[in-house]
């Protein structure tokens, strides 16, 4: 990985809305975009979305994650569990799956790990929106918190993004990113989250940080000064 480029990235959770947005953005900016899915049937769609390589493995029952992460500069994890699946109980890919991926990335000397988490994860003071997240998807929030902790403990450059309510809107590049406890609330498109995820490994101000992120409304007075740098 060079200061302005990424040679190979792995997109976990590639079949989800944020994952597909990462693929679309990365295809013209990264030499090799590798997508991870647990479904072999998803390969054609992921290739059409921008993946150069598709690897099949299940983060909750992996076969060989060392092969999945081999040769990558950055792992971008947008994995997540649908709220309707909470009733099936743990383990959740948000927690156990991410932790397995972190271990594999650390063992393979991957340089950077970026995780899409959620507002309200963690013990910091929370906005009403974050409190609502905790109330409605509490088990998933706890799973994400465990994954965040494993990322911070690993010998990896990392960025953890905690978005507000995700939408399928267009990319705006207008984002408030703030320290945990800033009590942000509001909306952000998956396309805007994808931009931050792809930029994070090359953005010095995002190194080893956890950030709440929203687009609407804006909270200029709470924003951290970050010059997000996309690969060229």
Q: What is the pLDDT of residue 86?
A: 86
51 domain residue, yes or no: yes
Query: Which pLDDT score, from 0 to 100, does residue 103 have?
Result: 98
Confidence of residue 188 (pLDDT cuts 50, 70, 90): very high
Count of domains observed in the chain: 1
Q: Is residue 66 part of a domain?
A: yes
pTM attached to this predicted model? 0.96
- For residues 135 and 157, give the distance between their C-alpha atoms in angstroms, rounded to a whole number: 31
pLDDT band at 1 (very low <50, low <70, confident <90, very high): low
What does residue 72 show for φ and ψ, rounded to 5 degrees?
-95, 145
Render pLDDT for 35-58 as a digit per residue (tens, 0 to 9).
Answer: 999 999 999 999 999 999 999 999
Give the domain extent around 40.
6-222
Q: What is the CATH number of the domain that holds 162?
A: 3.40.50.720
Whether 1 maps to a domain, the answer reads: no
pLDDT above 90 for 4: no
Percentage of the chain surpassing pLDDT 90?
91
In a domain, residue 231? The reply is no
pLDDT band of 217, cuts 50, 70, 90:
very high
| Residue 200 in tokens | 């994070």
Element housing 105 (H / E): helix 98-107
Side-chain-side CA neighbours of 36 within 13 Å: the count stands at: 28
Q: Pairing relation of β-strands 157-163 and 209-214? A: parallel
Q: Is residue 227 part of a domain?
A: no
Average pLDDT, the chain: 95
Nearest to 191 by CA among 8, 23, 2: 23
Nearest Cα neighbor of 149 from 200, 96, 214 is 96
Q: Indicate whether 83 belongs to any domain.
A: yes
- At residue 100, φ and ψ (nearest 5 deg) are -65, -40
Specify if 23 maps to a domain: yes
Position 228 in a domain: no
Give the C-alpha separation, 205 to 202, whole Å.
9
Write the pLDDT tens digit of every residue in 91-102: 999 999 999 999
Q: What is the predicted pLDDT for the residue at 191?
A: 98
d(CA 52, CA 20): 13
Q: Radius of gyration of the chain from Cα atoms?
A: 16
pLDDT for 2 beyond 60: no
The mean pLDDT of 59-81, rounded to a whole number, is 96
């Amino acid at each position: 990985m060079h200061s302005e480029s990424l040679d190979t990235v792995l997109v976990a959770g590639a079949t989800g809305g944020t994952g597909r947005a990462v693929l679309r953005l990365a295809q013209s900016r990264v030499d090799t975009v590798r997508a991870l899915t647990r479904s072999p049937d998803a390969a054609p769609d992921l290739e059409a979305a921008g993946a150069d390589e598709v690897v099949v493995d299940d983060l909750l029952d992996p076969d060989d994650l060392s092969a999945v992460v081999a040769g990558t500069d950055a792992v971008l994890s947008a994995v997540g569990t649908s709220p309707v699946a909470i009733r099936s109980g743990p383990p959740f890919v948000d927690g156990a799956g991410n932790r397995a991926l972190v271990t594999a990335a650390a063992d393979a000397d991957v340089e950077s790990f970026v995780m899409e988490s959620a507002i309200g994860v963690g013990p910091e003071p929370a906005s009403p929106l974050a409190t609502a997240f905790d109330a409605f998807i509490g088990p998933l929030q706890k799973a994400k918190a465990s994954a965040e902790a494993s990322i911070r403990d690993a010998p990896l450059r990392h960025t953890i993004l905690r978005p507000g309510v995700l939408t399928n809107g267009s990319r705006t590049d207008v984002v408030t990113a703030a320290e945990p406890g800033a009590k942000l609330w509001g909306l952000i498109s998956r396309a805007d989250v994808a931009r931050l995820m792809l930029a994070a490994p090359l953005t010095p101000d995002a190194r080893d940080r956890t950030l709440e992120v929203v687009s609407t409304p804006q909270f200029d007075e709470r924003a951290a000064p970050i010059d997000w740098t996309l690969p060229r």
